[in-house]
Amino acid sequence: MTIDGKAIAGRVMADLIPRAERLAQAAGRKACLAVVLVGDNPASRTYVRAKIKAAELVGIQGKELEFPAGVPQDELLAAVSALDADPSVDGILVQLPLPPQIDPDRVLDAISPAKDVDGFHPANVSSLQLGRPCTIPCTPKGIIRLIDSTGVSIEGKRAVVVGRSNIVGKPVAKLLLDRNATVSIAHSHTRDLKSLTREADILVVATGKRSLVDGSMVKPGAIVIDVGITRTAEGTLGGDVDFASAKDVAAWITPVPGGVGPMTVAMLMENTLECFEARINR
Ligand code: GUN
């Protein structure tokens, strides 16, 4: 069966509306999410638009800042630091990837952990690893919710994560471990990927390689979460999993588009309200 990420995200967003309203009453203003876009990557622009639109839908003020691809690092760092110091801003997100003259670590370090709605700051990353309270990165958090939506228990299951990025692979592996799955992380140097993925009760694929995983690599009855999204020259969107062949083998599978993507945006809204609430109660 298909895991309808779009519908599940829609319900999460609807539930966030009264929470945003309640917090706005308490604070005397709406939560404010600042989204920073650098350059003209069309995919990044689409994601930033979706995030601002979702914020407004939930009752969060969206503040979009745009910089040209050639912006000097110092100028970007100054702008991010200004947002960080601005008491009317509750969450800051800098859309990745950044152009080559910018060191992403310098930018992520400039956002204080309390406003880091992406959960990318080293303090949040280390807290996640240590099991301390933190902001959980949006995509991994959304993936766990999508798995939970199936009603299948994660505990004791064999989980395989293909991809080891800081944004998805590593944090989702930790979240699955926290839920008592037995977790393996595969990557571009993994030998015999197929024999590993065929053992997975839960298979998360986050590589950015179109159709890397097909039905022959999926264990019958598995839950398959496809994080990849790429556009072909003809303009069709597709994932890291070949949906057509995998859907008949898996018990549950996320489509692309309409799976993980909308859930990531919904989790960003939830993280923003969590940061807002913590700031109000400070
Ligand atoms: N680029 C791809 N995924 C993400 C994300 O979750 N957050 C940000 N800021 N950039 C991204």
One-character DSSP codes across 183-217: EEEE-TT-SSHHHHHTT-SEEEE-S--TT-B-GGG
89 and 184 co-located in one domain: no
Q: Give the residues across from 258 on adjacent strands.
A: none
Beta bridge partners of 225: 204
96 and 172 both lie in a single domain: no
Question: Are residues 74 and 144 both part of a single domain?
Answer: no
**Positions marked catalytic:** 51, 95, 118
Average pLDDT in the 159-171 region?
98
Band of pLDDT at residue 39, cut at 50, 70 and 90 = very high
Distance, in Å, from the CA atom of 40 to the CA atom of 47, rounded to the nearest integer, reads 12
Same structural domain, 143 and 254: yes
Interstrand relation of 91-94 and 32-38 (parallel, antiparallel or unpaired): parallel
Residue 236 is classified by DSSP as -
> Would 225 be classed as within a structural domain?
yes
What distance in angstroms lies between residue 250's CA and the mean position of ligand 1's atoms? 28
Give percent of the chain with pLDDT exceeding 70: 100
Residue 127: inside a domain, yes or no? no
Q: Which atom from ligand 1 is nearest to the alpha carbon of 138?
A: 6
Residue 275 has pLDDT above 90, yes or no: yes
User: Whole-model pTM above 0.85?
Assistant: yes
Output the six-digit token pair for 254.
């996320």
CATH number of the domain that 203 lies in? 3.40.50.720
Is 56 among the domain residues? yes
| pLDDT (average), residues 207-229 | 98
According to DSSP, residue 55 is labeled H
Give burial (CB, 10 Å; 0-12/13-18/19+) of 209.
Answer: middle
What is d(CA 87, CA 282) in angstroms, rounded to the nearest whole number?
13
In a domain, 275, yes or no: no
Q: What's the number of domains the chain is made of?
A: 2
Distance of CA 270 to the CA centre of its chain: 12
pLDDT tens for residues 45-85? Answer: 999 999 999 999 999 999 999 999 999 999 999 999 999 99
Q: Are residues 56 and 102 in the same domain?
A: yes
The overall longest dimension of the chain from CA atoms, in Å, is 57
Beta pairing class for 230-231 and 237-238:
antiparallel
- DSSP secondary structure code for residue 116 in this structure: B
Residue 73 phi, psi (nearest 5)? -55, -40
Judge whether 268 lies within some domain.
no
What are 123-138's pLDDT values in tens digits? 999 999 999 999 999 9
Residues 144 and 54 in one domain: no
Cα separation, 172 vs 169, whole angstroms: 5
State yes or no: pLDDT of 207 exceeds 90.
yes
Q: Nearest-CA neighbor of 16 among 36, 35, 31?
A: 31
Residues 29 and 103 in one domain: yes
- Host domain of residue 235: 138-261
Ligand 1 centre to CA of 221 (Å) is 30
**142 and 110 within one domain:** no
Ligand 1 neighbour 139 (Cβ under 6 A): yes
Mean pLDDT for the stretch of residues 8-18: 98
Q: State yes or no: pLDDT of 273 exceeds 90.
A: yes
Could you tell me which residues come within 8 angstroms of residue 175 by beta carbon, excluding any fewer than 6 positions away? 136, 140, 141, 143, 144
CB 276 within 8 A of CB 27: yes
CATH code assigned at 42: 3.40.50.10860
> In ligand 1, which atom is closest to the CA atom of 139?
6
Q: Is 24 in contact with 31 (CB distance < 8 Å)?
A: yes
pLDDT recorded at residue 128: 98
Between 5-27 and 42-58, two packed helices, what is the crossing angle to 10 degrees?
60
Cα gap 137→113, rounded to integer Å = 12
Is 13 part of a structural domain of the chain? Answer: no
- Average pLDDT on 228-256 reads 97
Please report which confidence band the pLDDT of residue 282 belongs to, taking 50, 70 and 90 as the band edges: confident
Give the position, in ligand 1's atom list, of the atom nearest the Cα of 44.
1
Ligand 1 centroid to residue 118 C-alpha, Å: 7
